[in-house]
Structure 1
């Protein structure tokens, strides 16, 4: 392959990557922007005009629509959706408002307080100044900025330049919560106001503001709250469940030696990464649908290539009678509320004698995994 061909291919790759960076923007021809508005269709007096069907009538554009984004300024992203990530949360798909509702779930004694604490934490992370506050009812922020994305400048010479155009938004948020008197349900609404779209720190004209920006800002905040509540709830459940769990040795239904815990698959699956780390294993891959962790024995963590070449440096020894780098597959399986964890080396289940030797290390790692 000649140098010219290599250059052409390289240039094509750069151009394609440049297009990928602007996936949010419309592409193609925009000849429709040059079409003149010819007004209403008129008929000669001697010609009988049939009544148009409603579905074929083109409604007139409002002034707001005429001043909206056109051509390359039109975002082609799908509208942002409020996600019901938190337990007990629900979204009314029929409404266009940015709202999420919550119902009480097991383990949450005061739902409004739980939700509002998450709201306060997310607002604090934005760094926005709060100019109005009513506990568990209202928060209004002063305008603050969010860095949205950046893209390379257009033109041939920009292909070889690292200079990028940075886009950000400036907005204020009004967050309102309505809670029932029995405190077992609540609804959270968010409204973004005073919105500006900034290009390298300078506000752009209204027609260049992304069409769905307000919706994106509102939904983004709600989803952050929902995600925080989900993490908080699962973390507390996991910690509470672990307090009453003990690890023991036994056999599974196939008579293979196994570690056993009296808990569900969900709890066991979430606990094991911490247990593996403390026992000296590194997770190389996993498949939750099959309940499988693919690990290698790496006490002290995996060594870089330079540390491996340093033969004069003694490798950290682990507590298990295993060679560093030994690949071990752990299978997690639940039967009747009891979870069995079987280890395999070279597709063969670890023997009862081997697992007995491992047990003190895993029992200690299991006890310490809630720290």
Structure 2
């Protein structure tokens, strides 16, 4: 066995030949190009060295690393044109504003007063502010302080549309001064300052609209829904609203009392309904969700037919065969539905 291993090693050496003992190959000689032959009547091109850096003239410039200003629609009545490049925003008339231009003039005056900003009315539709001092917050907790950074003067202009339902508000910077005399405002910073001032006013208007919406939701809803009789003298619920308004509100009312719409006939002003008394599940009781009101009805199919009588809209409640429900049941329905209409703020 020892002799066979030795034989194999010797055979491998012989097969490899002289390359096993040969010396490493030398690198080839580099190929040197011939110099460019330029005719006598032509000028030779420049021939830079291998690692020459071309001479470039440059100047050191400050780069604004802060993000650009963006006009924000912070109120429900505001919007921005898609191609707008200036600090300008549009306001549209809403239920909260009434006459739009006087409303914005009042809010602008309140905004200046709330932020202790002096101003002068330059023209009927433009106002110029006094110096507005801006500060930086330094420190924390009890050692927090405000350090003046710069001061700015703005012009605020209104651009109403002829129809009066839309007004644009434009903010332009007139002057700017840093308290540190070595600093200067870059061109991109001008738009950012204008935008920040405009966004502050838009947020002021948005806060007013939010408070008005909360106030409206907290007010009790006036409803005209009451027990009466329809055109045939049968017991029904009556509403002062037009039939079209009542029809459009009923599906929301049905959903709130667990009445599911199985079919409807618009030409006959009839809803076909199925009622199942609501059951409060374990999770609803666990999270203390308000139970759905229970109607004085048994599980089954019903109809609600709308009609007009003496300038009122009548709601006639019937069983699946079209028989009108007794007056006592309709009276109990009135009590439950009045509470639901008030909570859901329906116009009935």
TM normalised by structure 2 equals 0.44
Which of 1 and 2 has greater Rg? Answer: 2
